[in-house]
Amino acid sequence: MEQLTILLIVIPLMVAPITALIPSEKITWFLTLAVCLISFAISSFILYQVIDGTHVIYELGGWRPPWGIEYKIDSLNAFVALIVSGIGILASLFAYRSVPSEIDNKTIPLFYAAFQLCLLGLLGIALTGDIFNLFVFLEISSLSSYALISMGKHRKALSAAFSYLILGTIGATFFLIGVGFLFAASGSLNTADIANRFSSFEDMQLVETALIFMIMGIALKAAIFPLHSWLPNAYVHAPSTVGIFLSATATKVSIYVLLRILYDLYPIAYWVEMLLPQIMLSMGCVAVIYGSYRACQQVEMKRLLAFSSIAQIGYMVIGFSLVSQLGLTASIIHLFNHALIKSTLFIGAGILLYRANTTELSSLRGLGKEMPWTFAAIALAGLSLIGVPGTVGFVTKWYLLEAAVEKGMWIVVITIVVGSVLAIGYVWKIVDNLYFKSKEKLHIHDVSSGDSTIARSPKTMTIALWIGAILCIFFGLNTELSFQAASSAAAALLKA
Amino acid sequence: MMIDYMLGHVNYWLIVAVMMVGLYTLMSRSNLIKKLAGLAMFQTAVILFYVSLGKVTGGTVPIVDAKFSLYSNPLPQVLMLTAIVVGVATTALGFALVIRIKEAYNTVEENEISAMDEKE
Amino acid sequence: MENDLILRVVTKWLSPIIILFALYVQFHGDYSPGGGFQAGVIFSSAILLYSLTYGLDAALKLIPESALRLGASLGVLIYGGVGVTSMILGGNFLDYSVLASTPIAGQHIGIIVIELGVGLTVASVMVLLFFTFSRRVTP
């Protein structure tokens, strides 16, 4: 049982170098899918084991913590690992037909190897209980994602990847400085060990500086409002598969790191006194309004979705800055819900790109009538993004509103309502352009840039899209599963 | 008092200076290669920071020997070995991107690149 | 630089010594300062020196790129392989103590094989980076 946890890291680590050597797109794709499926199976098994509040401890190399690296898996770790590997499955299903159409034949094995390394890094972040090890995994996932983004078709992908590289490295280095200060104050790198001995540290100034550096660094990686500038370009110009995977996982995992730092590493009372919740709450609120507003202005579907991601990250920030069981639960559940919604929408955008060769909304007018099933799935995911009852988006917003009302934060309530109204605006923009703007069906070969040889949406893409869309509804109606995992994770964080 | 404090922490002051030079270069230059040089300086400053954290006053090289009892802390150096590798990987990836940007845009000046991007 | 007699002669004499030193750093890594990272970089510097003086084509004849790719992947596999072996033998991942009859001997074997993997990957990747860049930049 314990050995299973490390397998989540070992399997991608061993398969990625083999993948890089095999010069066949089919085999490398299959290996990637297999890695994602196995990781998904293992993480769901672990989540099933730890959902009742117990945890699994794994000592790397047989060294006892705090000297060795320790992996301590509670329900939050397992939940995040489940999200990452689950989205990995959807993305690799989608990749089967999308990657050969977007990426040079010779680099496909390297693409899949980098994809697996990215998965490895994100899973590693989700599992490790050692802050320096976390930095290393953060850099593994980031470096591979820079490489993945730069493989985009258009040359803008290169400049997007470069600015992401600069900003991402600054973020990671800030985090590293923070770890250094904390190490200077505590002499330890183990999360649990630092948390246990927190009251005995002599130099509280170092500890405070460490917290600020770490939060700044991770906030950059998570694209929390004023530090979001790298996100839209990176997601828009990346290959579709990468856009799906990163939009649904990378920022979520960074939010998870933020949760760990604030709720596990530091005592809650310590940073609540520092006005941090108020600051983050206001940043979250601004992010919701700003992201939704900018999304409404966009005329290109992927960019619209990217700005909506900034808004959705704002909801997560609001959730955990409320410092209550309900708010935290809402935040964690939104990690899951948003990963599901955004990956579905990006898969939809990817299918449109694959068939029509463009995602400019004005050139897609009437395409919804030609592709009714794809359109229906996009519309379902769009409804979830707004938060219509019966979809996953509603679940989050309901808990978030409840948490805000419980705390008496009316400004938050207003923000969420305004954010939802704006969400109606930008989702309508997609639906309107795809279906209602044009009276006639738009045939694929009529799109100026469209390729008439591509007749139907590939089955793997449609399957991935509909899995996402159905899960959006399933977890919206059947909240038991995700709610139980999220609330047990929240309780573990609050040590309630 | 103040002067003692300044002199006692002279290594940290120097590290902060290197760090700021790196960060400033990174932000102020429009040439992508200079940006990467600034980034590398910034990362190097952090490496120096860690290494000086591990120094124990009067301690010797951390190799066990009967003649010595006080050793410097080897852990930060081991950590920095990993951070150096990360830094090398980042710089290499950055330069690879710069070469491809140069091929695609025929320039390495950021303002020219963004001007070209906006025109499209 | 390919016509400079002094450089050519010095390089010919120096490269084997650098490689020897790299191997020393590699295999003494468990007793003294050193190890796979340092050894890998030193090893690659010998190849770099050779390719700077004798040109990229000569260096590619010495080590073809496919071998470097294989080496880079193989190093990671050796590293992971040691971890998996220790898991199969009943320890945790990367627990070297179970690799031999006594824990101390196990730690020795473990670290030497691990560093071998690290050295192989670092050396191959360093040379690969240099080759890739120099081929791309020179017309």
- pLDDT, one tens digit per residue, over A57-91 is 888 877 787 788 888 888 888 889 999 999 999 99
CA distance A213 to A206: 11
Mean pLDDT for A230-240 is: 90
Domain that holds residue C23: 5-137
From residue A120, how far is each of A169, A294, A351, A412 by CA, in Å? Answer: 19, 33, 26, 36
Res. B66: pLDDT tops 60: yes
- Find the angle CA(A290)-CA(A126)-CA(A57) to the nearest 5 degrees: 150
Cβ of A150 within 8 Å of Cβ of B100? The answer is yes
Res. A136: pLDDT tops 90: yes
Q: For residue A166, what pLDDT is reported?
A: 93
Mean pLDDT of all residues belonging to chain B: 87
Nearest Cα residue to A201 out of A212, A213, A211 = A211
> Which residue did the predictor score with more confidence, A454 or A138?
A138
CA distance A494 to A68: 26
CATH number of the CATH domain containing B17: 1.10.287.3510
From residue A374, how far is each of A105, A458, B3 by CA, in Å? Answer: 27, 11, 70
Burial B77-98 (b: 16+ CB within 10 A, else e): bebbeebebbbbbbbbbbbbbb
Q: For residue C35, what pLDDT is reported?
A: 83
Question: What's the pLDDT tens digit per position in B11-53?
Answer: 888 999 999 999 999 889 889 999 999 999 999 999 999 988 8
Question: What's the pLDDT tens digit per position in A271-286?
Answer: 888 888 899 999 999 9
CA distance C125 to C130: 9
CA gyration radius, chain C:
18
Token pair 């002094």 is found at C6
CA distance A46 to C12: 57
Q: For residue A104, what pLDDT is reported?
A: 84
Strand partners, A73: A56
Nearest Cα residue to C60 out of C52, C51, C72 = C51
> Which residue did the predictor score with more confidence, B62 or C129?
C129
Mutate to test the interface with C, among B81, B86, B98, B108 (most CBs of C within 10 A): B81
Sign of the alpha-carbon dihedral angle for A88, A92, A95, A100: positive
Identify all chain A residues contacting B89, using CB atoms and an 8 Å cutoff. Answer: 139, 143
Q: For residue A441, what pLDDT is reported?
A: 62
From residue A484, how far is each of A51, A76, A86, A403 by CA, in Å? Answer: 8, 11, 18, 17
Query: Measured between CA atoms, how close is A140 to chain C, in angstroms?
Result: 14
Q: Are A444 and A360 in contact (CB under 8 A)?
A: no
Q: Within 13 Å of residue A273, how many CA atoms lie on the same side as its CB? A: 6
Mean pLDDT of all residues belonging to chain A: 87
The domain tally of chain C equals 1
CB neighbour class for B7 (10 Å; exposed up to 12, middle 13-18, buried from 19):
exposed
Nearest Cα residue to A350 out of A313, A289, A302 = A302
Chains within contact range of chain A (3+ C-beta pairs < 8 Å): B, C
Per the structure block, which two tokens stand in for A127? 């599992």
For chain A, domain boundaries: 276-496
Question: What's the pLDDT tens digit per position in A158-203?
Answer: 999 999 999 999 999 999 999 999 998 888 888 888 888 888 887 7
CB neighbour class for B57 (10 Å; exposed up to 12, middle 13-18, buried from 19):
exposed
Res. A389: pLDDT tops 70: yes
Supply the pTM of this predicted model: 0.93
Nearest CB to B101; choose among A158, A173, A183: A158
Angle between helices A108-127 and A25-50 (to 10 degrees): 10
Q: What dihedral do alpha carbons A302, B112, B19, B76 form, nearest 10°?
A: 50
Strand partners, A360: A300
> Per CB distance under 8 Å, which residues of C are interface residues toward A?
69-70, 72-74, 76-77, 80-81, 83-84, 87, 91-97
Question: What's the pLDDT tens digit per position in A436-495?
Answer: 877 666 665 555 444 555 557 788 888 888 888 888 888 888 888 888 888 888 888 887
ipTM over 0.90: yes
Q: For residue C96, what pLDDT is reported?
A: 83
CA gyration radius, chain B:
20
> Which residue did the predictor score with more confidence, A293 or A98?
A293
Cis peptide before A66 (omega within 30 of 0): yes
Question: What's the pLDDT tens digit per position in A22-56?
Answer: 888 889 999 999 999 999 999 999 888 888 878 88
Cβ of C136 within 8 Å of Cβ of B99? The answer is yes
Mean pLDDT for C92-114 is: 85
Identify all chain B residues contacting A135, using CB atoms and an 8 Å cutoff. Answer: 83
End-to-end CA distance of chain C: 17
Nearest Cα residue to A319 out of A398, A222, A381, A244 = A398
Nearest CB to B82; choose among A136, A150, A184: A136
> Which residue did the predictor score with more confidence, C96 or A303?
A303
Q: For residue C1, what pLDDT is reported?
A: 56
Domain that holds residue B38: 2-119
Mean pLDDT for A314-343 is: 90
Res. A121: pLDDT tops 90: yes
Nearest Cα residue to A265 out of A213, A329, A195 = A195
Distance of alpha carbon C15 from its chain centroid, rounded?
A: 15
Q: For residue C57, what pLDDT is reported?
A: 87
- Find the angle CA(A125)-CA(A129)-CA(A131) to the nearest 5 degrees: 75
Look at A234-243, A393-402, B107-116, C30-39 and tell me which has the smallest mean pLDDT.
C30-39
Query: Measured between CA atoms, how close is A260 to chain C, in angstroms?
Result: 24
Q: For residue A455, what pLDDT is reported?
A: 56
